[in-house]
Amino acid sequence: MSSRVQNIRGMRDHLPSAMILRQHIINTLTSVFERYGFEPLQTPIVEYAETLDGKIGDDEKLIYRFEDHGGRKVALRYDQTVPLARVVAQYQGQLTFPWRRYAIGQSYRGERPGRGRYRELWQADIDIVGSASPVADAEILAVLTDALTALGFTGFTTLISHRQVLGGIARVSGLDDASAGNVYRAIDKLDKIGIDGVRNELLQSGVTPDAAERILALIDLYGSADDVLNELAQRLHDDERAQQAIDNLRAIIGYARAMGVPEERIAIAPRLARGLSYYTGAVFESIIQEPPMGSLLGGGRYDELIGMFAGRSIPTVGLAFGIERLHDVMEALGMGPESRTIAVALVTLFNPEMAMESLGLAQELRRAGLMIETTLDPSEKLGRQLQYADRRGIPYALVLGPDELARGEVVVKHLRSGEQRSVARSAVAGMLHAAAEAQRTPRIANEQGGIHER
């Protein structure tokens, strides 16, 4: 074993400058979730292995498994959806349905680490449990639209499909339901292996060349909701389940528009399969197209998963925001709060004799709701204190010397520009509050990927 001290590969340390952006993301998401009435839920990271077994399809091999000290087979949660299903089954007598819940926390996946792929990942989930209404699906779309907008994203599109549209595509191509799973799995790899790769996978799974071409032609449809749904309705007119799915998508999109989701934010994409096997209805994924940064989140309707635990059908729809993904994309685009430090100002200690007055000033400002650091060594030279603040990225330094104390003033120095001025002590808090608000104002990405202030 290497003697070098390091973290586990695929699991990241987040130093303070990164955590400020991550907390901004989490706080923004939480604020939007709660505006819609979603309630917080926290579940353990460790579950009994049997709770997770058979719930996530092909990715089950990625679950971290081990035995606890009592010899019980346990596992780290792969996502927050299966634990939600367990909670609903365990506490259904204490819950009122429909139940809106959100959960923010870590999940673990034993996959090979790479760019954008981690073994420990934070997710922010929202779900509406106990409603089969398309209004519930539409509300999820409204929440994700508001959340991404609040974070500063502008060039995003939410792709929507339906499991029974994909099933209809398979059926009209001559495949039975048993073979449709191969179609889902192949289509889900489209972004990774391309159209030729999907064609090869279909052929290798036993799909005839003619059927494969029909499938590829149908999943190639993409565009505005009304146009693509009309085209699908014509091409899948003989499949009753597909027609019902198309009607369901029309209802969802209609309600979403009523909730203020812009028409240009939604596109129908039959190729969207979503890899997890528990989806039963509408599925969706939000992507950044300009600049092309890929997927930000995904979700859909899963009406059978909770029933596997509860013993009765409890329809549910939800989604998961990938905090790692949001963080990496926002960092790459220069989005989020401009400052990467918490404190808005450092209160310096002019000399040992003035230390008590300066520490008192710091407390005044903290009690006024400001985030303030102080120098810890009263004998430290003022120049070194200012250098420290500058290296930390603290925007302002405050100096309270004997002359300022006598005049009831404080010297406020803006470290980036070097400008300084004397401000009445009673006005310092108001000035710093205004500066802190500007510091917190997130930068947003425009449609071309540029950055500007909100």
**Residue 371 contacts residue 344 (beta carbons within 8 Å):** yes
Is 176 annotated to bind a ligand? Reply is: no
* Residue 43 annotated as part of some ligand binding site: no
Question: Is 80 within any annotated ligand binding site?
Answer: yes
pLDDT at residue 275, as a whole number: 62
Taking the model in full, what pTM does it have? 0.89
Is 210 annotated as ligand-binding?
A: no
Query: What integer pLDDT is reported at residue 58 of this predicted model?
Result: 73
Q: In what order do the strands lie in the sheet with 294-301?
A: 39-40, 99-108, 120-129, 316-322, 294-301, 282-288, 156-162, 266-268
Amino acid of residue 148: L
Do 325 and 353 belong to one domain? no
The predicted-structure confidence for 137-171, as pLDDT tens digits, reads as follows 999 999 999 999 999 998 899 999 999 998 898 88
Asked whether residue 352 falls in the same domain as residue 333, the answer is no
pLDDT at 328 over 80: yes
Mean pLDDT score of the chain, rounded to an integer? Answer: 91
pLDDT tier at 454, thresholds 50, 70, 90: very low
Residue 205, classed as helix, strand or coil, is coil
Question: What is the tally of structural domains in the chain?
Answer: 2
109 has binding-site annotation:
yes
448, pLDDT greater than 60: no
Q: Which of 157, 247, 54 minimizes the C-alpha distance to 447?
A: 157
Whether 75 and 56 map to the same domain: the answer is yes
Tell me the pLDDT tens digit for each residue of 372-399.
Answer: 999 999 999 999 999 999 999 999 999 9
Whether 421 and 285 map to the same domain: the answer is no
Residue whose structure tokens are 């870590």: 106
- 249 pLDDT higher than 80: yes
Asked if 10 and 113 touch (Cβ cutoff 8 Å), the reply is yes
Task: Report long-range pairs for 444-448 (Cβ below 8 Å, ≥24 apart).
Answer: 444/152, 444/153, 444/154, 444/335, 445/152, 445/153, 445/154, 445/155, 445/291, 445/333, 445/335, 446/154, 446/155, 447/154, 447/155, 447/290, 448/155, 448/290, 448/291
Q: Which of 337, 362, 394 is the last residue of a domain?
A: 337
Higher-pLDDT residue of 414, 3 = 414
CATH number of residue 104's parent domain = 3.30.930.10
Same domain (yes/no): 127, 104: yes
Q: What CATH number does residue 430 fall under? A: 3.40.50.800
For residue 4, being part of any structural domain is answered with no
Task: Look at residue 91 and tell me if it is in a domain.
Answer: yes
Same structural domain, 293 and 199:
yes
- Using one digit for the tens of pLDDT, what is the confidence trace for 67-98? 999 999 999 999 999 999 999 999 999 999 99
Residue 420: enclosing H or E segment and its boundaries? strand 420-424
Q: Which amino acid is at 62?
A: L
Residue 299, classed as helix, strand or coil, is: strand
> What is the pLDDT confidence band of residue 183, given thresholds at 50, 70 and 90?
confident
439 labeled binding residue = no
Mean pLDDT of 48-64: 87
305 shares its domain with 177: yes
Domain stop point among 279, 312, 337:
337
- Is 453 inside any structural domain? no
Are 279 and 166 in contact by the 8 Å Cβ rule? The answer is: no
* Together in a domain, 124 and 249: yes
Q: Sheet containing 372-374: which strands, arranged edge to edge?
A: 372-374, 345-347, 396-399, 409-414, 420-424
The verdict on residue 56 lying in a domain is: yes
* Statement to judge: residues 262 and 163 lie in one domain: yes
Say if residue 306 is in the same domain as residue 398.
no
125 annotated as belonging to a binding site for a ligand? no
Is residue 9 in a domain? no
Backbone CA torsion sign across 179, 182, 187, 190: negative
Distance CA 295, CA 152 (A): 16
Amino acid at 239: D
Q: In the chain, how long is the greatest CA-to-CA distance? A: 90
- Domain membership flag for residue 454: no
| Three-state secondary structure call for residue 422 | strand
Question: Given a cut of 50, is residue 451 above it in pLDDT?
Answer: no
Per the annotation, does 302 bind a ligand? no
Domain match, 332 and 388 both: no
Residues 207-222, mean pLDDT to the nearest whole number: 87
Burial profile 8-25: b = 16 or more Cβ within 10 angstroms, e = fewer: eebebeeeeeeebbbebb
Taking Cα atoms as reference points, which of 357, 413, 361, 356 lies closest to residue 383?
A: 413
For the cut 90, the answer to whether the pLDDT of residue 338 exceeds it is no
Q: Which domain holds residue 399?
A: 345-443
Based on the domain organization, do 367 and 318 belong to the same domain?
A: no
- Residue 278 among known ligand-binding residues: yes
What proportion of the chain, given as a percentage, has pLDDT over 90? Answer: 71
Residue 268 lies in a domain: yes
Task: Tell me, yes or no, whether 5 lies in a domain.
Answer: no
Which residue, 305, 337, 369, sits at the end of a domain? Answer: 337
β-bridge pairing 120-129 and 156-162: unpaired
